[in-house]
Structure 1
Amino acid sequence: MSTGLDRRSPRPAATIVVARPAPPGLEILLLQRPGAARFGAGAYAFPGGAIDGDDASAVWESRLPPVGERTACAAALRELFEETGIVPACAGPVDSGRLAAARQALLANQTSFSRIAERMKLDFSAAGIVYFARWITPMNLALRFDTRFFLLAADEQIGPVSLSPEHDAALWTTPAAALRRFAAGELPMLFPTVRTIERLAGLGSPTAALEALRDVRVEPVLVKLAASVGEKEARSLAPGDPGYDEIS
């Protein structure tokens, strides 16, 4: 994830929640950022990163589901592929060996995701993907992102995670377990990650999550920070949280 940001303007970004079936409902994929990362150091988050120019390629006009925010959707799938080696189920067969080689070339900046899609005829238009949220980093932080959130409903056969050097660990977890570990201080997560997992808790399957989020109206959410006496860190607040409207 590139972080060449301006203090005033958040950089457009995209992230994707990968959900697969698992008793008693679903599991989601979280990746741990390195402890030395400039943004979200050591935190677990969904695969994602900044949008780049190739994500707006005309190649994606017919290869993505009609979920809106096409450029961001392409970016989310590119980041998922770069960081984990995972791609959604395609309309046609995919050679896993060629795909792995293409990923290495992409990570080495020797090719682009759109070129890979063209050469390998990757078509994600029938994939179970929805666009359901948009979170904006607080205005007083040096590194800021305006991030579109997508959900991918995967099946049990989703490929294994092959981490890029950008992350330290990968974790499949139920939403309930992730929230318990976060509350116990065992699983550091960013504020939008926690709020997203709270929305998924209790849903019975990836398909149920897809349907629950399919028709939501996406409004940008600007996170604000509230400093309180005696607290080591400022608390993150979203619209509707007590005290949010009092913060300028």
Structure 2
Amino acid sequence: MDVDRPGPGEELNDAGTVTPPRQAATIILLRGGGQALEVLLVQRNPAQRFMGGAWVFPGGAVDRGEGEGDEAHRAAAVRELDEEAAVSGVAPASLVRFSRWITPPQVKVRFDTHFFLAPSPEGAEPAVDGHECVDLGWFTPEGALERHRAGELLLVFPTIKHLEQLSSFESADALLAFATGREVVPVEPRVVLGGEAARILLPGEPGYEDA
């Protein structure tokens, strides 16, 4: 994927030293059951220095008090969903592991983010606090990508790639069935600079091993 400038939160590191990634967790909240697939996206406050204005899945960094390992990631994911979208009642143990993305070493702010799937609790009515997040919406994965291409939604690279993957599933139930018990392999994109553009490569793509 070629980009003419880094997106918010994807600014390149000019310091020459690699920033250790901070542990983080994200929930891809689903609705639609066996009939459809929609995901919840929240818009970060445009005034925020990190990813201001971007539409993302609810999530954030693991707090020190949440411990380490899988339990900490699950606890952080559930907490962030409540804080950013006012959705409670999701049991950490019920989350389905979906992916793990590590920010490229060339980027200034780095996270080691664990993505989880969860059906929206019955009766949940997501809402934003108006400070950290200022808007939200339910989108089909392809619908969100179309609005991004039209310039209506600001999306960052990991969100785009996840939406592309999710768009191949016809329903929330089909997605959950696919992900349950599946081995999660960490993905660490790499950035290749060429002139005024940067190319982001994923594992398996030509040039990745040489980047």
* TM interval, short-chain normalised: 0.7 to 0.9
User: Does structure 1 residue 14 correspond to structure 2 residue 14?
Assistant: no
Give 1:145's aligned residue: 111
Instruction: Give the partner amino acid of 2:25.
Output: A
User: Does structure 1 residue 221 correspond to structure 2 residue 191?
Assistant: no
Deviations 1:168-187 (A, max 9, x none): 21121111101112233332
State the superposition RMSD in angstroms.
2.4
User: Does structure 1 residue 241 correspond to structure 2 residue 211?
Assistant: no
Give 1:185's aligned residue: 151
Give 1:212's aligned residue: 178
Counting aligned pairs with the same residue, the percent is 41
Cα displacement (A) at 1:245: 2.1
Measured in 2, the distance between the counterparts of 1:52 and 1:160 equals 23
Aligned residues: 195
Give 1:85's aligned residue: 86
Instruction: Give the partner amino acid of 2:210.
Output: E
Give 1:117's aligned residue: none
Structure 1 residues 55 and 185 mapped into 2: Cα distance closer, same or farther (>3 Å)?
A: same
Out of 54, 59, 73, which is 1:43 matched to?
54
Structure 1 residues 87 and 213 mapped into 2: Cα distance closer, same or farther (>3 Å)?
A: same
Cα displacement (A) at 1:162: 3.5
Instruction: Give the partner amino acid of 2:48.
Output: A
Measured in 2, the distance between the counterparts of 1:125 and 1:182 equals 31
Return the TM-score normalized by structure 2: 0.82
Structure 2 residue runs of 5 or longer lacking an equivalent are 1-16
Give 1:162's aligned residue: 128
Return the TM-score normalized by structure 1: 0.70
Q: After alignment, is 6-15 or 22-31 more displaced?
A: 22-31
User: Does structure 1 residue 75 correspond to structure 2 residue 63?
Assistant: no
More helix by share: 1
Instruction: Give the partner amino acid of 1:75.
Output: A
Measured in 1, the distance between the counterparts of 2:92 and 2:45 equals 33
More strand by share: 2
Measured in 1, the distance between the counterparts of 2:52 and 2:155 equals 10
Structure 1 residues 72 and 34 mapped into 2: Cα distance closer, same or farther (>3 Å)?
A: same
Give 2:44's aligned residue: 33
